[in-house]
DNA sequence: AAAGATTGAGACTTCAATCTTA
DNA sequence: TAAGATTGAAGTCTCAATCTTT
């Protein structure tokens, strides 16, 4: 049992947090706008293609693809629907598990990744790696690992995937 | 004129980048899910209320509110529509500029911030500040400032706000 | 012409419910 | 019962176009 955390952030923590929010939002917007212009798709969809392009046989089970893109099953299903419509991905059923589906990158899909990746990477370098010192890059990696780790542990603790609240009206 | 950047990221840069993507996505999802559950609104809408709550007279011009929340004008308009429907914000016209609109936090809006803020802050502390060393917190602040700075300079360079491309078919 | 703000359509995401198989 | 995947509805965001005022 740990101590109750102080209620508010200190001024400097507040500044840090605001800066982080600003940076991640601007980064997301910038990368999304570029990908939309160049490939007419959001970064999230590009990342799905990129993951497939690196996988064995350029294919992955929906389950694993969802995990590796930090995506919910539902979100991935919708995204793959779209990519399939555009002929960039195909769906096959899983040989060893009849519940499973496998997403396979098509040749057209591979071409999109090949065309988009260099431009995307250039931009990431430009606004991230080029503006950070080597030390800062190392720090960013470690910081990210810690935060991601905390969140993943947290999901497990809360049993997110098996939560079963009582039925209730949905209000937004 | 700077040198052309190397085409790909090094292995360690790649790892850093992936970790950053994972952390920021998980963080966004976690905070959004919590805010949705507790206040039935996305974090982006809560942040609008939070900004207003800190402003003089609990009000800001749409223009300034958009800038301070890293939001496009359009996005802010839609968000404030929603918040206004729920009675958390009111719109008034700007006394000195007839083009302007001012968003004002209502008493009900203030109550929402008062209720949501402590829970939100607790969670941020839990998954960010509690898992980082003081050095890392400092580093995160500096890194964020640099990235945000690079992106803001970039927007200016590209003249984002005044871009006027030739009319063309929209394709997504 | 540019700035401030809004509008409507289309695309994406989330949520809860459903269906099938393990 | 749980896991894998999908579905449909509702909410949010983006983009381009529009309207008003500077």
- Give pLDDT, residue B38: 97
Provide the residue-wise pLDDT of chain A in tens; the chain has 172 residues: 445 556 789 999 999 999 999 999 999 999 999 999 999 999 999 999 999 999 999 999 999 999 999 999 999 999 999 999 999 999 999 999 999 999 999 999 999 999 999 999 999 999 999 999 999 999 999 999 999 999 998 776 654 554 444 333 333 3
- Give pLDDT, residue A42: 98
Cβ(A118)–Cβ(A46) below 8 Å: no
B38: Cβ contacts below 8 Å, ≥ 6 apart = B116, B119
Give the three-state DSSP class for A103.
strand
- Give pLDDT, residue A115: 98
| Residue A159, number of CB atoms within 10 A of its CB | 9
- Give pLDDT, residue A66: 98
Smallest CA-to-CA distance from A26 within B153, B41, B51 is with B153
Which nucleotide shows the minimum CA-to-C1' distance to residue B79?
D12
B91 CB closer than 7 A to any strand C atom: yes
B71 CB closer than 7 A to any strand D atom: yes
Nearest CA in chain B to A35: B172
**Could you read off the pLDDT of B117-134 as tens digits, one per residue?**
999 999 999 999 999 999
Interface of A with B in 92-111 (CB under 8 A): none
Distance (Å, rounded) from C-alpha B162 to C-alpha A104? 41
- Give pLDDT, residue A168: 39
With an 8 Å Cβ cutoff, are A17 and B132 in contact?
A: no
Extract the tokens encoding B88: 């958390």
Q: Is the pLDDT of residue B109 over 70?
A: yes
Cβ(A9)–Cβ(B121) below 8 Å: yes
Confidence of residue B154 (pLDDT cuts 50, 70, 90): confident
- Give pLDDT, residue A146: 98
Interface of B with A in 60-89 (CB under 8 A): 70
| pTM (whole model) above 0.95 | no
């Amino acid at each position: 049992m740990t101590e109750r955390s102080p209620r508010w952030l200190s001024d400097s923590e507040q500044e840090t947090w605001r800066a982080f929010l600003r940076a991640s939002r601007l980064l997301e917007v910038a990368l999304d706008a570029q990908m939309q212009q160049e490939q007419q798709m959001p970064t999230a969809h590009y990342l799905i293609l990129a993951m497939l392009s690196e996988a064995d046989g350029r294919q992955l089970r929906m389950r694993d693809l969802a995990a590796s893109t930090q995506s919910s099953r539902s979100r991935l299903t919708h995204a793959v629907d779209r990519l399939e419509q555009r002929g960039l991905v195909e769906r096959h059923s899983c040989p060893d598990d009849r519940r499973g589906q496998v997403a396979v990158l098509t040749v057209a899909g591979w071409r999109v990744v090949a065309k988009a990746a260099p431009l995307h990477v250039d931009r990431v370098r430009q606004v991230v790696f080029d503006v950070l010192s080597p030390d800062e890059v190392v720090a960013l990696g470690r910081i990210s690992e810690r935060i991601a780790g905390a969140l993943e542990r947290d999901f497990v603790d809360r049993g997110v995937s098996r939560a079963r609240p009582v039925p209730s009206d949905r209000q937004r």
